[in-house]
Chains A and B, each alone.
Chain A
Amino acid sequence: MKKRGDDTLETPITSMIDIVFLLIIFFVVTASVDKDVVDESIILAQAKNAPAVEQSDPRTVTVNLRKDGEINIALQPLSLSQLKQLLISMRAQAGNSVPVLIRCDGDTQFRHIDRVMQVAASTGLYRVRLAAEATGM
């Protein structure tokens, strides 16, 4: 009786470990994807009607803009002049159709957004987008 109980206990364990390892690998892989670009402290404004983007241009320069107007790219803080230098070099590398995505906090004042937009416009990058959270559909 005791022996039989051992057998029934032992059989699902190996398959369970398989499943658990698969889950772990899944979480490890999904956790590391584009973690470096997203600034977690930014809470995007909500857009009800705009469709969610499935895939964006891989050349996109993502500029994070915090509530207090602090600019960073991939969590590295930049001043406006550094941002300008970076956009100029991006333009030299990949042409002026490089999209610039501004991920700004919903509470960011437009004066801060405007400064980033002016820098993008002055470097000749005209494809500027604002990121928002797609809540509709």
Chain B
Amino acid sequence: MKRKSADQLAVPMSSMIDIVFLLLIYFIVTAREEISEAHLAVNLPSPGAAKTDEVKPKMLEMQVHANKLYLQGAEKPVEEIASTLKYLGSLDPDQTVIIQVSMSARATDLVTALDLCRAAGLDKLNVMTLK
């Protein structure tokens, strides 16, 4: 009696393991590695505010075009902008950065600009549309 029940237990075991392994492989294959997200905060100009063209001297001005970054009106390579922003950020981390983005710029370009400002410790980032 004891032997018989041990046999009955052993028979479905191997097929069950097959199923279980199949399930396991299915979930391993379909599981995607989670990418860790960074959330970059931006300030938007309020819609009702009067558009002032004058830029206060304390503000940094950045322009984002497709694959091009301008800092204070001059196009510069990313590394140079990064080091300049680091220097300016160490002088006064509270200063506002105005990021003017061209309509044809891609999200990658904007994220690069925001990321560089974050790296420099500047977190007052105003995003505006370039006319």
Q: Which of A101-137 contact B (CB under 8 A)?
A: 101, 103-111, 113-114, 117-118, 120-122, 126-134
In Å, the complex CA distance between A35 and B17 comes to: 28
A49 lies within 8 A of B41 (CB):
no
In Å, the complex CA distance between A129 and B40 comes to: 5
A117 lies within 8 A of B127 (CB):
yes
A23 within 8 A of B: yes
B56 within 8 A of A: no
Distance of B125 from chain A, by nearest CB (Å): 10
B106 lies within 8 A of A110 (CB):
yes
A133 lies within 8 A of B31 (CB):
no
Q: How many residues of chain B are within 8 Å of chain A by beta carbon?
A: 46
Distance of A6 from chain B, by nearest CB (Å): 9
B27 lies within 8 A of A50 (CB):
no
Determine the chain B residues whose CB is within 8 A of the CB of A80 once the complex forms.
none
With known contacts A109-B104, A110-B110, A114-B103, A50–B118 Cβ distance under 8 A? yes
B11 within 8 A of A: no
B20 lies within 8 A of A113 (CB):
no
Chain A interface size band reads 35 or more
A92 within 8 A of B: no
Determine the chain B residues whose CB is within 8 A of the CB of A51 once the complex forms.
38
A113 lies within 8 A of B110 (CB):
yes
Determine the chain A residues whose CB is within 8 A of the CB of B42 once the complex forms.
117, 128-130
A30 within 8 A of B: yes
Distance of A45 from chain B, by nearest CB (Å): 4
B129 lies within 8 A of A107 (CB):
no
Most chain A CB within a 10 A radius of its CB, from B16, B37, B44? B37
Of A110, A117, A134, the residue contacting B38 (CB under 8 A) is A134
Determine the chain B residues whose CB is within 8 A of the CB of A56 once the complex forms.
39
**Nearest 6 Cβ contacts at the A-B interface:** A27-B27, A49-B119, A50-B38, A52-B36, A45-B111, A134-B38
Given contacts A110-B105, A117-B42, 17 further A-B contacts (CB under 8 A): A13-B13, A20-B24, A31-B27, A44-B35, A49-B119, A50-B40, A50-B114, A109-B103, A109-B104, A109-B105, A111-B103, A113-B107, A117-B127, A122-B47, A126-B46, A132-B39, A134-B38
B residues with CB within 8 A of A: 10, 13, 16-17, 20-21, 23-24, 27-28, 30-32, 35-47, 64, 101-112, 114-116, 118-119, 127, 129
